[in-house]
Structure 1
Amino acid sequence: MVSYVVLAAAALFESLALAVSIREFNKNYPRKAEVSLWQAIRESKDPSAFIVIVEDAAALVGLAIAFGGIVLTQMFDNALYDGVASILIGLLLIVVATLLVIETKSLLMGESASIAVRDSIKTLVKADQAVSDMGPPITLHLGPRDIMLAMNIEFCDHLSADEIETAVCRIEQSIRATHQDVKRIFIEAASLDGVD
């Protein structure tokens, strides 16, 4: 009986912690209705925001496994079920740890911005009348809300150095206005008349 009370209390506290962590995640990272929580977690660049959710969810699953192990042990008067439940909880911890390593490894090693952000940047740059072509934007997350951007832009051959400088400033302002997470922008400018 004591085991059930302890598991019920733990489940109550973990449920409350999970609800609070999901509410905070949704407040700090609002998402569209069609985007699931799991997809939002996978797209998040802030490990501190989603690790708590994953840990709380894993704790609830572990408590359910422990509950099942205790029930089966008492029903069949066989401690084997309790041992199997303990092994399953250990496997659960391994799976959760592996998922967290996969999700955070790319951030530690340098993850690029999403395809949607890169495509949006490319569209903004190509929309400028001074731009004739550009290479693919190179992005790198330096933090949850800190993206570095490097681009090679080819400007129209009739532009002067001052006009190119003005165009670069205009492009940077356009990108920063649309993507506030882009904090550092590096542009390599090339003129078409220098290209064979």
Structure 2
Amino acid sequence: MSHGSEGSAHGSIRAIFYALGANFGIAVAKYAAAFWTGSGSMLAEAIHSTADCANQLLLLLGLKQARRPASADFPLGHHRVTYFWSMIVALMLFFMGGAFSVYEGIERLLHPQPLQHGLIAMAVLACAVVLEAFSLWGALREIRKIAGRQPFLVWFRETRQSELMVVAGEDIAALLGLALAFLAVASTVVTGNPLWDALGTLAIGAVLMMIAIAVMIEVKGLIVGESAAPQLRAEIEAFVAAQPEVEQVLNVITLAWGDKVVIAVKARMRDMETQTGLQVVEAINAVEARMQERFPSAQWVFFEPDVR
């Protein structure tokens, strides 16, 4: 598993641009098809793609703001601002994508409208599936670089890269939504009953809302203050314990900080009783330097020697 923060950040940016390009093209095609056919499912999908474009711009804004330098007011920098924007994106996915689709579906149920040029709508949806699959492929490729062979759902639960998690969640939601829209439009074309289009719009809304809730739950944990990912946390603890200057690790606390990690260590140093204070400090500095070389994302390491 890679722990390089710069590579991870660049991977997130690439994934966001894949999604932004795909969703912009998809949104334009969907709006044209929705206007031409009068399909509620297509309009719901168009609104969803528009929200996705706005979401990706917000994620890029968050990554830019995260690079602001540290200051007296923000001594550890602005890296965690990505969690704020990820939560905003999840909320937009829930309301602009999911809730709007549910509202549109209810309207279509109450006031059915005939579907026109259904074959055109199906062709647009098929093209959109290809573009969205390309976007998801880009996101998954970046995730594979970080997660290795770790299953996707495990990575989703354990990742601390909120922006990449949001992009992957959006792409999955979009593909599921497109599949539902295609089935709804096809059923309406075959049966001539606009009820299928309305039901498809409702189903799209439900899927978007469920995935948005899953993303919000994960991002909430990051905002509250989660540790580094379990595998990285275990590697850090093992690394500290293996240092020749350390006799026993008493406690290791890690905190995810955007693409960085804060580490606090309490340990009993070897031969601590016979060493001078300066020697203990030099030993701690040596351990900290090796930790930051081994884990580039560990920008802040706080080391406390203790005998308990």
Change in 2 beyond 3 A, CA 1:31/1:119: closer
The residue type paired with residue 19 of structure 1 is W
Which protein is richer in helix relative to its size? 2
- Paired residues of 1:124 and 1:174 also in contact (CA < 8 A): no
Residue of structure 2 aligned with 1:138, choices 253, 262, 273: 253
1:153 aligned partner: 267
Match of 2:206 among 91, 103, 119: 91
- 1:9 is aligned to 127
Structure 2 residue ranges without an equivalent (≥5): 1-118
CA-CA distance at 1:150 after TM superposition: 0.8
DSSP-derived class of the 1:78 partner: coil
Measure how far apart 1:184 and its partner are: 0.3
TM-score, L = length of structure 2: 0.55
Cα gap change, 1:177 to 1:60, in 2 (>3 Å): same
Distance in structure 2 (CA, Å) of the matches to 1:94 and 1:55: 11
Over residues 61-91 of structure 1, what are the superposed CA-to-partner deviations in whole Å (9 max), with x where a residue is unaligned? 1111111112222333322222111111010
Instruction: Give the CA RMSD over aligned residues.
Output: 2.1
Supply the distance in 2 between the matched residues of 1:25 and 1:118 (Cα, whole angstroms).
19
Say if 1:15 and 1:154 are closer, same or farther in 2 by CA, change over 3 A: same
Match of 2:177 among 62, 65, 89: 62
Greater strand content: 1
The unaligned stretches of length 5 or more in structure 1 are none
Name whichever of 110-119 and 89-98 sits farther off. Answer: 110-119
Count the aligned residue pairs.
188
- Structure number with the bigger relative contact order (C-alpha 8 A, sep ≥ 6) is 2
1:81 matched to 2:162? The reply is no
Taking a change above 3 Å as real, the CA distance of residues 56 and 124 of structure 1, as seen in their structure-2 partners, is closer
TM-score, scaled to structure 1: 0.84
Q: 1:124 to 1:52 in 2, by over 3 A?
A: closer
Shift of 1:41: 3.9
Find out whether 1:177 has 2:293 as its counterpart: yes
Q: Percent identity?
A: 27
Q: 1:134 to 1:112 in 2, by over 3 A?
A: same
Output the CA distance in 2 between the equivalents of 1:130 and 1:37. 38
Compared with structure 1, are the counterparts of its residues 142 and 93 closer, same or farther at alpha carbon in structure 2 (3 Å cutoff)? Answer: same
- Indicate the residue corresponding to 1:45 in structure 2: 160
Partner of 1:189: 305
